[in-house]
Structure 1
Amino acid sequence: MQYQIIPVTPFQENCSIVWCNITKEAAIIDPGGEPDLLKKTVEKLAVNVGKILLTHGHLDHVGAAKELADYYDIDIYGPQREDQFLLDNLPHQCVQFGFPFCAAFEPDFWLNEGQTVQVGQISFDILYCPGHTPGHIVFINQKDRLAFVGDVLFNNSIGRTDFPRGNYADLIASIKNKLLPLGDDITFVPGHGPISTFGRERINNPFLV
């Protein structure tokens, strides 16, 4: 598996393009905005985008999802259904944060823990990790020991829980009971900022001591 991180929007959200080395099939994870930039990146990588994957429903993670899905004629997978209220509220989020208009939408497939998503010959396990939002999910590739965690966990920090239906206790439980037990060697791509490993955060993250 290969991946490229493309920070987008004024919030510098980490949109990731992941692809299978063998089939060149790709997925775009959390396309928060700047669809033209993402299209140009896909073209340069010479990959075939087959899916949009969403960790949660906040505008800076989904703002370009529907436009890209329509452009490539592909399906949107995730998040978990509890984030429907955020997707329904996208037009208001645009006004609130000064983003270009984004219409409400519903993904083609809601995702739940225990399911898997295929990208070529890459398999992502789905973990349900509420707290930052009630429907937040995480994509885990066990073979390459790589996770795309959205806004659950960051390098030396954790996701905010002061947004509607955020829950601090749920967030900490998601990190300690779902993510960290997977192994210190797993590298993760957060929704913002630099990558890290579960092991580094287990030892050094001040919110997890």
Structure 2
Amino acid sequence: MLEIRTYPLGPIQTNCYLIFNRDGECLVIDPGEEGDRIIAEIEKTNGEPLAILLTHSHFDHIGAVDRVRNHFDIPVYIHEAEQAWLGNPDLNGSSRYPGLPLVRNEAADQLLQEGELKIGSFRLEIRHTPGHSPGSVSFIFHEAQLAVVGDTLFRGSIGRTDLPGGDTRTLLQSIHDNLLTLDDEFIIYPGHGPSTTPEEEKDMNPFLNGFS
């Protein structure tokens, strides 16, 4: 049994997820902003944070990485294709928006590749789902039938592909091969907005109709 909590944070309301298991262990996914709030929410639960997992490294998903990492002394995981992005505002996009702070984090502690990942009592599958960015990944928790997919797929929409490294056809292929193949009952948790299911997106998402 897993419990997932959603926190829309920062000026773009990026979803940060805290996932707890029955042992009280916690994974932090995409701490994009408001690091002190994330820390306070974890400490209220008396949970044990084990790691920070990043679906990708655009600035709105990584702004509080070092604040949370250093407070709890936990490792950060990111796909190997974006390992240089955490500390580079030109790559993570924070330099594109005047008035927003430049995001510079220390290097990740672990690099993700496709396949099974075990952290504490958590077991999950890493699926590489590029298209929105080169190193976008989705975290698939099979037993709980939930997937955290970053900015790959939204309810009724898909991630933008006009940023560096984005590609529309690659994104659509990632969605069809890696997300719509999940059981229809899976709950998909995106980087922004409400959750959805593969069944709902196959039926209703206009961006996916007719793709082959």
Shift of 1:115: 3.3
Structure 2 counterpart SS, 1:69: helix
Deviations 1:99-155 (A, max 9, x none): 33432432111101113132x423111000000000111000000100000000000
Amino-acid identity (%): 38
Question: Residue type matched to 1:107 in 2?
Answer: A
Matches within 5 A, 1:1-209: 1-21=2-22, 23-78=23-78, 80-90=79-89, 93-97=93-97, 98-118=99-119, 120-209=120-209
**Structure 2: how far apart are the matches of 1:99 and 1:53?**
23
Q: RMSD over aligned Cα, in angstroms?
A: 1.5
Higher helix share: 1
Unaligned ranges ≥5, structure 1: none
Q: Which has the higher contact order (CA 8 A, sep 6+)?
A: 1
Question: Residue type matched to 1:139 in 2?
Answer: F
Q: Count matched residues.
A: 206
Unaligned ranges ≥5, structure 2: none
TM-score by length of 1: 0.93
Question: Residue type matched to 2:10 in 1?
Answer: T
**Structure 2: how far apart are the matches of 1:174 and 1:130?**
6
Structure 2 counterpart SS, 1:174: helix
Asked if the contact 2:65/2:105 (under 8 Å) is kept, the reply is no
Question: Residue type matched to 1:15 in 2?
Answer: C
**Structure 1: how far apart are the matches of 2:105 and 2:39?**
21
Shift of 1:189: 0.6
Asked if the contact 1:90/1:104 (under 8 Å) is kept, the reply is no
TM-score by length of 2: 0.92
